[in-house]
Amino acid sequence: MVGPQYDLVGNPLGAVHATFERAAEATAAESGGREPVAAFRGKDWGASEVFRSFLFEQGGLDKVPVLDASNLGLIKPNTLVRFRGMVQDMLGNEYYVGAFKDGSTWRTNKFSDFSPFSIPHPCDSHLWERHLFHCVPVPGQNSWTRESSPGPDLRTMSSCLTSEQRDKRKRDADNDAMDVSENGNVESSSPSKKPKDDDVQNSNSSPEISMNKGHISEMNGVDHHIPGSSFSCLVKVYDMPESQVKLNDVAEFIGVYTFDPELAAPTDNSDDIMFDLIEDVTAQLPPSKVPRLHCLVRRNLSAHDFLSKPPTAEPSPILLKGIRQSLLSHLTLVLGKDELAAQCLLLHLLSRLRNKVDVVTVGRLSLNFTGFNRESASIFGNQLNNLIQRLLPYSQAIPLSIEYLNAATLQPRKDNQSGRLVTGVLQLPQGTHLTFDETLLQSGSLTSKGVENTMLLKNLMESQMVEYDFEYYKLEMATDVQLLTLSEGKSNILLSDLIVPFRPSSVPAVNVSAEELESWRWYLATVRSLPQSTESETYQMIQDEMVSAMRDDRSLGCSELSRWLTMAQIMASSFGENSLSIEHWQMVKELERLRKERLH
């Protein structure tokens, strides 16, 4: 039904209303009943089909601008936008008048906040519900991910914005009593967008972030991606069972952007004082700072979706092997020609949580490089961080010093007074990579907060769970992050699975080309999602191997053998093979042998 009469990008609500009215008439004609639109509650009448086919089949995705801190002031309200972010908080359900009768035609309010018509009698209107989610840009998102989907140049569209709206926004920003913290790191990689418009100031929409920026030393000259500091978006999702969206999911929401500053004005209702008493959480998110997005189409994002080009080739073993080799050699160079360390790092970067049996997590491989000191940490650490930032979609580097442990807010906490979840560093999407620099740790004493933070990190390392504090009880949320530690001796706070003494022999000085980076990114994303299947002979063989290993070395225990098996599995998939074979096991044993030599 998509004809040229709909301008889906510029006037999506028009398409929504038109299709609704048509559908309502159609059902009214069919059933002849009084309430034709009752059937539409919770379901779609064909509008999202229209959008879906436009976006995905007809390549309309590129025409839709991306909602971002930089272009918040430039986008015209009631147009179609996209927003990529992480679900940071779930704000419950909202009831709105979904369908109402205006005269003799049925109209809908879906996908908008403000109704131009006066609300009619309740008999002629239906209440529907929608879910509210508070989304923020993904914490730790690296800049290369933004290249993948630039929107159209918005400067040409900026003339659409009336001067009045611009002034209004400026006034709001000026009156902002909250701290305006600097924008984390919004480097627009696409040159067409100007980073900031002079009229629009980026403002802090989550004032509760208590992380003290002064304490965080910058590891390599790039600001940390502090969650929530750039901006956030209130997404209203329709028609979807709420359990489909989980906390900390990264998704792309495509929908209608609405801006209704009138709705946010505090109502001084002497009429019914109760309005003020039953507070609305969304009142804390003023529309001038937090845009509202009414979601039409939603899709979850994985690492693949951040790649610029869609994967061209089939992930064949030969192709993967080649890329593996080039990546490995690059890693070796970065790590000062320490091959063992490079091999271990590769295995670590490819690890992901496969299974969870009670408290035992299968598939994780956290890595601890020992033998660093301050200088080497700054040299190698910087290089390593640079590389990781360019390879993985989300990563963060955390300097583990006493001040940091004592001051940082790691644990997300629910503030029952305001009704929102105050975020912490450990509210991370799946697949984030964390690098801890422990060389900054000096002797000192930990406050009680420091002890709590340490326990949180320990829990994260061991069972991949983070406890969220809900004041009267604690809720555990599962995560899947990769943890790398750089320390002088064996780390006592973060007990990693794999401990590798670091023996560099040269200073790194490397350049890489963009294609190489692309291919490596693709490699990492693909290998991590390769399914693993194994034949039953392999089981038997592995068991025999384990038994003989235990016989040779009595000190081997359950955890070590489990780790070997994990490493072997990762090794197998790093070659593109989806089943484990004896050679991989042997390779792992060889690595272990070399590692053990170094330990003594």
Partner 1 sequence: MASRGGGGNSNSPNSVSSPDVRPSSPLPATNSSPAQSGRSGGRRRRRGSASPYPSSPSLGGFETPPPPGRRTPSGAATSRQRQNWTGRFPPTPSTPMSTDDVPPSSEAGDEDTPETDGGGVDADAAPVFVWGTNISVQDVNAAILRFLRHFRDPRDAGRVDPVMDEGKYMRAIHRILELEGGESLDVDAHDVFDHDPDLYGKMVRYPLEVLAIFDIVLMDLVARIEPLFEKHIQTRIYNLKSSVCLRNLNPSDIEKMVSIKGMIIRCSSVIPELKEAVFRCLVCGFYSEPVMVDRGRVTEPHICQKEQCKATNSMTLVHNRCRFADKQIIKLQETPDEIPEGGTPHTVSVLMHDKLVDAGKPGDRVEITGIYRAMTIRIGPTQRTVKSIFKTYIDCLHIKKTDKSRLHIEDSMGTDNPDANKTAEDVSLGDKVEKLKELSKLPDIYDRLTRSLAPNIWELDDVKRGLLCQLFGGNPLRLPSGASFRGDINILLVGDPGTSKSQLLQYMHKLSPRGIYTSGRGSSAVGLTAYVAKDPETGETVLESGALVLSDKGVCCIDEFDKMSDNARSMLHEVMEQQTVSIAKAGIIASLNARTSVLACANPTESRYNPRLSVIDNIHLAPTLLSRFDLIYLILDKADEQTDRRLAKHIVSLHFENPNIEEIEALDLPTLVAYISYARKYIQPQLSDEAAEELTRGYVEMRKRGNNPGSRKKVITATARQIESLIRLSEALARMRFSEVVEVRDVVEAFRLLEVAMQQSATDHATGTIDMDLIMTGVSASERLRRDNLVAATRNLVMEKMQLGGPSVRMIELLEELRKQSSMEIHLHDLRGALGTLMTEGAVVIHGDNVKRV
User: Which one of residues 177, 265, 313, 318 is an interface residue with partner 1 (CB under 8 A)?
Assistant: 265
Is residue 29 near partner 1 by the rule CB under 8 A? Answer: no
Q: For residue 101, give the amino acid letter.
A: K
Q: How far is the CB of 59 from partner 1 (least distance, A)?
A: 33
Task: For residues 141 and 17, give the distance between their C-alpha atoms in angstroms, rounded to a whole number.
Answer: 37
3-class secondary-structure state, position 431: coil
Task: For residues 392 and 394, give the distance between their C-alpha atoms in angstroms, rounded to a whole number.
Answer: 6
Choices 149-157, 204-212, 244-252, 322-330 (CB under 8 A): range interacting with partner 1: 244-252
Q: Would you say 356 and 475 are in contact if contact means Cβ atoms under 8 Å apart?
A: no
Sites for partner 1 among residues 151-180 (CB under 8 A) = none
Q: How far is the CB of 542 from partner 1 (least distance, A)?
A: 6
Is residue 537 near partner 1 by the rule CB under 8 A? Answer: no
Q: How far is the CB of 277 from partner 1 (least distance, A)?
A: 5
Q: How far is the CB of 37 from partner 1 (least distance, A)?
A: 13
User: Whose Cβ is closer to partner 1: residue 6's or residue 468's?
Assistant: 468
Sites for partner 1 among residues 395-454 (CB under 8 A) = 414, 416-417, 419, 421
3-class secondary-structure state, position 33: coil
User: Which one of residues 1, 178, 360, 599 is an interface residue with partner 1 (CB under 8 A)?
Assistant: 360
Q: For residue 22, give the amino acid letter.
A: R
Show the DSSP H helices in 481-556 as ranges: 514-528, 536-552
Q: Annotate 94-122 with DSSP letters as a single string.
A: EEEEEEEEETTEEEE-TT-S--SSPP--G
Task: For residues 209 and 424, give the distance between their C-alpha atoms in angstroms, rounded to a whole number.
Answer: 8
* End-to-end CA, the chain: 72
Task: For residues 251 and 145, give the distance between their C-alpha atoms in angstroms, rounded to a whole number.
Answer: 14
Q: Would you say 52 and 131 are in contact if contact means Cβ atoms under 8 Å apart?
A: no
Q: How far is the CB of 262 from partner 1 (least distance, A)?
A: 6
Sites for partner 1 among residues 78-107 (CB under 8 A) = 89-90, 92-97
User: Which one of residues 156, 190, 269, 529 is an interface residue with partner 1 (CB under 8 A)?
Assistant: 269
Q: Would you say 422 and 412 are in contact if contact means Cβ atoms under 8 Å apart?
A: yes
Task: For residues 435 and 400, give the distance between their C-alpha atoms in angstroms, rounded to a whole number.
Answer: 10
Q: Are strands 233-237 and 125-136 parallel, antiparallel or unpaired?
A: antiparallel
Task: For residues 453 and 51, give the distance between their C-alpha atoms in angstroms, rounded to a whole number.
Answer: 46
Is residue 505 near partner 1 by the rule CB under 8 A? Answer: no
Q: For residue 226, give the amino acid letter.
A: I
Is residue 575 near partner 1 by the rule CB under 8 A? Answer: no
Q: For residue 64, give the amino acid letter.
A: V
Sites for partner 1 among residues 363-382 (CB under 8 A) = 363
3-class secondary-structure state, position 64: coil
Choices 67-75, 127-135, 183-191, 209-217 (CB under 8 A): range interacting with partner 1: 127-135
Q: Are strands 233-237 and 292-300 parallel, antiparallel or unpaired?
A: parallel
Choices 155-163, 227-235, 357-365, 592-600 (CB under 8 A): range interacting with partner 1: 357-365
DSSP assignment letter at 234: E
Measure CA 445 to chain center: 34
Q: How far is the CB of 132 from partner 1 (least distance, A)?
A: 11
Q: How far is the CB of 459 from partner 1 (least distance, A)?
A: 13
User: Which one of residues 2, 160, 333, 477 is an interface residue with partner 1 (CB under 8 A)?
Assistant: 477
Cα–Cα distances in Å, from 543 out to 398, 540, 547? 39, 5, 6
User: Which one of residues 115, 143, 302, 459 is an interface residue with partner 1 (CB under 8 A)?
Assistant: 115
Q: Are strands 105-108 and 465-469 parallel, antiparallel or unpaired?
A: unpaired
- Residues in the interface with partner 1 (CB under 8 A) total 84
User: Which one of residues 48, 145, 230, 566 is an interface residue with partner 1 (CB under 8 A)?
Assistant: 566
Q: How far is the CB of 250 from partner 1 (least distance, A)?
A: 13
Q: How far is the CB of 311 from partner 1 (least distance, A)?
A: 26
Q: How far is the CB of 290 from partner 1 (least distance, A)?
A: 16
Q: How far is the CB of 84 from partner 1 (least distance, A)?
A: 19
Partners of 422 in beta bridges: 413
Is residue 128 near partner 1 by the rule CB under 8 A? Answer: yes
User: Which one of residues 186, 391, 565, 567 is an interface residue with partner 1 (CB under 8 A)?
Assistant: 565
Is residue 552 near partner 1 by the rule CB under 8 A? Answer: no
User: Which one of residues 187, 280, 553, 597 is an interface residue with partner 1 (CB under 8 A)?
Assistant: 280
Q: How far is the CB of 95 from partner 1 (least distance, A)?
A: 4
User: Which one of residues 166, 170, 215, 246 is an interface residue with partner 1 (CB under 8 A)?
Assistant: 246
Is residue 275 near partner 1 by the rule CB under 8 A? Answer: yes
